[in-house]
Structure 1
């Protein structure tokens, strides 16, 4: 009994209340002062995020810039110092060529947008003062705009003029490297900032055509071509015909699967990964890109499946067939799909597959009509069998 009492005493620890509860009251006040009435760093309109570590750990280089920092998340990195000097050169070059806009005009414009700009980022930008943020937005925004302007001019003009002093275009590879960095979710400026800067820096000559900012950027990004092509053999599956469709459209009708065209190249991986990361972070956006990746991952289960889609010109795979097949499965790692947009489509394909006649017909095509010689052999065997039957019937009849 005495041992039990000692054991109970050891199991309980007395916590004294300091100064009649004053210590606890002080703790309560301290904790209450730290509480935030709302989200500490989340504006309702924010749409530029840091990629969650659970996604970034699979391929960090697909989410982080290599050459240039755009926006506040990677601003000030020592590896980007050379490009900061290039931005200064580009801004000076822009102001020298435009007589209708001054540096003061740019500062006045972006200064008015400074508060709204902060709200578009999913983190507080307390490390940047008002002046620092305005300067960064002007340098980064004008660099991006002027970079794309120069590229489009070089692509569309008859004379491929290259400024020998231009640090970007005197190196053939640099523009594609920069395109990689400019696709990244963490490396963005608010669109309205770019639009204001673009409008301010338009060419004052009325006879010169100036495309919209959207067309300018799309022209630059879509001009980037992959470097090599690899696609060899072909195979049929499930007796379903594949047909190239238009962007964003998947369809299935009478055994024909219509799929939008896709080219898999060097920029495809960071583009898809960052679009999927955006959908994972932004609650106002649908999961269309994530659904697309899940669907194609189910379709392309092997290198043979990839070769079929290449043969139908649905996918231009500039990787090896095996790497192309593994590409979409890696995209979907650790992603959450709140709504799969192709549920009905998959149900139709599954219903088609469950009809045994289609599977038998596919087996016949694969085993006996995979090449002309197999087909000829089958036809010859059928003719021989028919002649044998006719001869047998004739013999019995006689």
Structure 2
């Protein structure tokens, strides 16, 4: 390494000074990555400059004769070739090289703004290489979306021949380090989309692709796909302008709250962050636990830690869940309570079938998270106060001991009935004796 070169000429070096108005794509902080690096790591496709150096590393390993058949490096190289195929077929379908040259020109015009979107310096990537990288990656994204959605013929495409590879790419596209700024994608492809579908925008296409139709405001802005997955969640929260920025210092777990008379009810959907507490009932959104949940939440939380430190609402929600869920007993309890499940298993992966694994995942999710203040501060306080009220706890004990199930409830009612009848009979006998006295 030549240390006489400017610091920005090496991969991974910070961009200084950064433009806070443009910067929105970050490398995941080490304090988060070290907990579990896998959810932040692309499995098959590399997008953007943050992993651009990995491509040359993979090629170097291949040229040196290393066996990379069963490694991510092989998948990355396969996808780089696939990007070329997608570009050629996209060009053939959309007015050939004329359109591709126009896309190159547009990328070149916005090159500095694109580079400024990254916290890290991209100065080590030469201009022509940078433009080609953005071109291939952006065309890959639009072409994949069109094929994945069935708009364009996908017959013969090995990426979409089965379910596994396509879903893997789908997940790779929402990783924080694997992003292109949305503005350049929109500028490149919105005119093309509007020509094909006059009533559809590129933004509409993206929202539909990720399954967020009707779940995000028409005027909502997002900077990239990771930001989009955050936006649809944060917009479910009411009164964002008046929340108190105080961290939760303590909250009892679900098992204790249940013993103190707190009821649980599942509401909303798994994109909602809206939690409420009223009349002893804690209403929590349904949470779909599958293989991708940790990946989605971790990348959103990493974005919040870097870009939304004072509005880290998904981080606050994860911390709230961490207080609520300590052990597998809390998970079991939440599965049982409410009108519907709070935790829903849809995964066939055995690691998520066990409640203990779910508890472990939730607890590790917040390791390394900095919490300057929580949207749920007041709710946590109300829940704690309800639990500490001796009247509520006494009611809960009575209900659990004497009315815990239909059998004990029936027995309790029968015993009370017999007791009342016995008292009535005793009282009647006393009255009769009194009446018979001279």
- Report the TM-score when normalising by structure 2: 0.72
Alignment of 1:147-158 (within 5 A): 147-153=144-150
CA contact (8 A) 1:106 1:200 kept: no
Alignment of 1:8-19 (within 5 A): none
Q: Give the whole-Å Cα distance in 2 for the aligned partners of 1:284 and 1:303.
A: 31
Q: Give the whole-Å Cα distance in 2 for the aligned partners of 1:212 and 1:240.
A: 47
Partner of 1:48: helix, strand, or coil? coil
2:381 matched residue in structure 1 = 347
Counterpart of 1:254 (choices 279, 298, 303) is 279
Q: Give the whole-Å Cα distance in 2 for the aligned partners of 1:370 and 1:175.
A: 48
Q: 1:39 to 1:110 in 2, by over 3 A?
A: closer
The answer to whether residue 176 in structure 2 is matched with residue 192 in structure 1 is no
Return 5+ residue gaps in structure 2 as ranges: 8-13, 59-72, 213-256, 347-351, 434-438
CA contact (8 A) 1:142 1:197 kept: no
Shift of 1:179: 2.0
Aligned length: 345
Counterpart of 1:212 (choices 165, 178, 201) is 201
Q: Give the whole-Å Cα distance in 2 for the aligned partners of 1:329 and 1:336.
A: 14
2:91 matched residue in structure 1 = 95
The answer to whether residue 389 in structure 2 is matched with residue 361 in structure 1 is no
The answer to whether residue 216 in structure 2 is matched with residue 221 in structure 1 is no
2:138 matched residue in structure 1 = 141
Q: Give the whole-Å Cα distance in 2 for the aligned partners of 1:190 and 1:301.
A: 38
Q: Give the whole-Å Cα distance in 2 for the aligned partners of 1:243 and 1:370.
A: 18
Q: Give the whole-Å Cα distance in 2 for the aligned partners of 1:285 and 1:396.
A: 74
Counterpart of 1:384 (choices 411, 415, 418) is 418
Shift of 1:304: 3.5
Structure whose alpha-carbon radius of gyration is higher: 1
Deviations 1:335-379, CA, capped at 9 Å, x for gaps:
110111111111111222222121111122222222211111111
Q: 1:339 to 1:305 in 2, by over 3 A?
A: same
CA contact (8 A) 1:41 1:123 kept: no
Alignment of 1:36-185 (within 5 A): 40=16, 42-44=18-20, 45-75=22-52, 76-77=54-55, 78=58, 79=73, 80-99=76-95, 102-153=99-150, 163-185=154-176
Shift of 1:285: 5.5
Deviations 1:69-98, CA, capped at 9 Å, x for gaps:
001111242211110011111111111111
Report the RMSD for the aligned CA atoms in angstroms. 2.6
Return 5+ residue gaps in structure 1 as ranges: 1-30, 155-160, 224-234
Partner of 2:50: helix, strand, or coil? coil
Q: Give the whole-Å Cα distance in 2 for the aligned partners of 1:90 and 1:203.
A: 20
Q: 1:138 to 1:90 in 2, by over 3 A?
A: same
Range moving further from structure 2, 110-119 or 209-218: 209-218
Counterpart of 1:309 (choices 331, 334, 337) is 334
Q: Give the whole-Å Cα distance in 2 for the aligned partners of 1:171 and 1:241.
A: 44
Range moving further from structure 2, 299-308 or 80-89: 299-308
Q: 1:335 to 1:47 in 2, by over 3 A?
A: same
CA contact (8 A) 2:48 2:180 kept: yes
Shift of 1:126: 2.1
Counterpart of 1:239 (choices 261, 271, 283) is 261
CA contact (8 A) 1:368 1:375 kept: yes
Q: 1:238 to 1:392 in 2, by over 3 A?
A: same
Partner of 2:157: helix, strand, or coil? coil
- Report the TM-score when normalising by structure 1: 0.79
Shift of 1:41: 5.4
CA contact (8 A) 1:244 1:259 kept: yes
Deviations 1:34-91, CA, capped at 9 Å, x for gaps:
9xxx973533231111111111111111111110100111124221111001111111
